[in-house]
Amino acid sequence: MSLFRALFELNGDQRMSMGLARAIYAVVVGIVVTWVAVVVIGFSQGTTLGILALLLGWIPAVIWIACARIVLEFSTAMDTLIGRPSDGRAAH
């Protein structure tokens, strides 16, 4: 599965629980709203700033979404490992 498809999948087929999936989608909505606000503010300051915000503003948004997804995947994996160790021994 490609990196971008895994970042933006909405079906819950990946390794995240639905509670964590809702949290990351709330973060994604916040990031997108912030990017739109930056674009609007950029155009209010001048056409050049607005175009730069429109063309380049998606890059930090995608990086933040990827980081949020990685952190949530890591926390879910750690929760699974702590709860059910694979070798049958009790977790410490």
The pLDDT tens digits for 33-75 are 999 999 999 999 999 999 999 899 889 888 888 888 787 778 7
Between CA 16 and CA 31 the distance in angstroms is 20
- Neighbouring C-beta atoms of residue 16, cutoff 10 Å: 19
- Chain mean pLDDT for the chain: 75
Between CA 8 and CA 87 the distance in angstroms is 33
Q: Report pLDDT for 91.
A: 52
Q: Report pLDDT for 42.
A: 92
Between CA 40 and CA 31 the distance in angstroms is 14
pTM score, whole prediction: 0.57
Q: Report pLDDT for 85.
A: 58
